[in-house]
Amino acid sequence: MVILAFETSCDDTSVAVFRDTVLLSLVTVSQIAEHAKTSGVVPEVAARLHANNALGALGEALEKAGVSLREIDAVACTANPGLVTSLLVGKTVAKTLSETLEKPLLWIDHIEAHMFANYLERDESDIRFPAVCLTVSGGHNEIYLWKSMFERELLGETTDDAAGEAFDKVAKAMGLGFPGGPIISELASEYSGEYRGMFPIVMLGRDSLDFSFSGLKTAVKREIDRRMALNVFEGGDPDGVAATLTSVRSQTRQDSPLPRLGLDDMREIAFEFERTVTEILSRKLFLAAEKVSTKNLVLAGGVSANDFLRKTISDRAEKEGFDFVCPVSKTYSQDNAAMVGILAYYRLREGGTAHSEA
Ligand code: KG4
Ligand code: ZN
């Protein structure tokens, strides 16, 4: 069975072609360069870029897969949650194709697709149930009890920001680019000092599986402001500091009106922030596992690309006898159409069609 999948929920225009569970092609057109200018996604801009890029990405994906439109057996597309105007572009293309080709159309839930990213390049039996799954992105942050392939129950969610959003906002407060996750992570990895516990580990009570990151974000911003003021006061030379960062250089906002932080300050704050977020996320995941008495842990979503988070969970899992899976490639952590296609495959195999109304 040949499946054509679309994902346009936020700022990536992504198309994938599958033959059953085999990914024949994945083409993702990133909008990062455009959104870096505003240090965040402007919905109208994202939708316009999706509209410009969708057909080109489709053509390239088909060509790479060596498949023609006539060979497609089913079309799948992210329906929600996401930016409404971005979703609309993918949904319109997918619906048009499905009706023209007279093939079934599957509406896919974005968070469920992130969970299914863990099936990519994996044996089906590698994911054991029941599992607890931490789905952590820029737009959402939850813990699910994953009971069986298509059965899940929400155990906890964020009461304000998602962890990825906190990464993005901290990078923005430092005058750095977008998305913030990889930038903060790179800075943090360059810090050689000890963890001091500079920021609050907000757990919302001993037993809670909900999250709150807005207090942490505010504490980090306050620390950034304090150090920037010190730099100005001491006549520090913040200019050009960010330009010394290798992979960050191209994304740094050179027009930032704020005095920049010194590189050492950036590294330390990034390190402390990343450690704090990781503590919160991993403690809650293990707490959830304890509550529902399972030894199976799954990580999904854009923030699952974070090396420190992966390692922290994986080390503790190994020590305490847990089974832990996360996407085999960071490409599958981020928004991508492959996760949409693999979920569509398993749904079709189950005999299902539409997941929800678009
Ligand atoms: O799943 P995703 O691609 O889009 C949403 O559904 O939101 O996740 C994007 C989020 C962004 O907030 C980005 O900063 C974060 O994932 N992210 C990371 C890393 N790579 C991406 N956060 C921490 N560390 C990373 N290495
Ligand atoms: Zn996502």
What is the CATH classification number for the domain harbouring 42? 3.30.420.40
Higher pLDDT, 270 or 36: 270
Is 253's pLDDT higher than 60? no
Atom of ligand 1 at shortest distance to CA of 171? 14
pTM of the model: 0.92
- Which ligand has the minimum distance to the alpha carbon of residue 183? 1
Q: Are 333 and 300 in contact (CB under 8 A)?
A: yes
Determine the atom of ligand 1 nearest the C-alpha atom of 163.
12
Q: Which residues line ligand 1 (CB under 6 A)?
A: 10, 137-139, 164-165, 167-168, 179-182, 185, 301-303, 305-306, 334-335
- Eight-state DSSP code of residue 12: E
Phi-psi domain of 175 (left: phi exceeds 0; alpha: psi -120 through 50; beta: other)? left
* Residue 340 falls inside a structural domain: yes
Domain that holds residue 38: 2-122+332-349
- Report pLDDT digits (tens) over 154-188: 999 999 999 999 999 999 999 888 999 999 999 99
Say if residue 187 is in the same domain as residue 268: yes
- Residue 354's pLDDT is 52
Mean pLDDT, range 22-32, rounded to an integer:
96
pLDDT digit string, tens, across residues 92-136: 999 999 999 999 999 999 999 999 999 999 999 999 999 999 999
For the CA of 334, the closest atom of ligand 1 is: 3
Distance from residue 73's CA to the centre of ligand 1 (Å) = 32
Work out which ligand 1 atom sits closest to the CA atom of 164. Answer: 12
- What mean pLDDT do residues 67-87 have? 97
Tokens 């832990």 label which residue?
324
Contact present, 335 and 10 (Cβ < 8 Å): yes
Mean pLDDT of the chain: 91
Nearest CA to ligand 1 atom 14: 181
- Residue 228 has what pLDDT? 86
What is the position in ligand 1's atom list of the atom closest to the CA of 335? 3
Q: What percent of the chain has pLDDT over 70?
A: 90
- CA separation for the pair 226, 114 (Å, rounded): 38
Residues 20 and 71 in one domain: yes
Q: Residues 176, 252: one domain?
A: yes
Using 50, 70 and 90 to split pLDDT, how confident is the model at 247? very low
Same domain for 73 and 140, yes or no, is no
| Residue 234 Cα to ligand 2 middle (Å) | 42
Rounded Cα–Cα distance for residues 66 and 60 (Å): 10
179 C-alpha vs ligand 1 centroid, how far in Å?
A: 7
- Return the pLDDT at 99: 97
Q: Do 306 and 160 belong to one domain?
A: yes
* pLDDT range class, residue 36, cuts 50, 70, 90: confident
Residue 116 sits in the same domain as residue 185? no
The sign one gets for the Cα dihedral 114, 116, 118, 122 is: negative
- The number of domains in the chain is 2
Answer yes or no: do 96 and 199 share one domain.
no
Would residue 358 count as lying in a domain? no
- Whether the per-residue pLDDT at 259 is higher than 80: the answer is no
Q: How confident is the model at residue 251 (pLDDT cuts 50, 70, 90)?
A: very low
User: DSSP for 111-172?
Assistant: HHHHHHGGGTTS-GGGS-SSEEEEEE-SS-EEEEEEEETTEEEEEEEBSS--HHHHHHHHHH
pLDDT at 291 over 60: yes
Task: Examine residue 49 and state whether it is found in any structural domain, yes or no.
Answer: yes
- Going from the Cα of 139 to the center of ligand 2, the distance in angstroms, rounded, reads 7
What's the confidence (pLDDT) of residue 249? Answer: 40
Domain match, 38 and 109 both: yes
Cβ burial 94-111 (10 Å sphere, 16+ → b, else e): beebbeebebbbbbbbbb
Residue 4 predicted with pLDDT over 50? yes
Distance 226 CA to ligand 2 centre (A): 33
Q: Is the pLDDT of residue 3 over 80?
A: yes
Whether 7 has a pLDDT exceeding 70, the answer reads yes
Identify the residue whose tokens are 């960071």.
330
Residue 195 CA, ligand 1 centroid: distance in Å: 23
Mutate which of 277, 303, 332 for ligand 1 pocket (most atoms within 8 A of beta carbon): 303
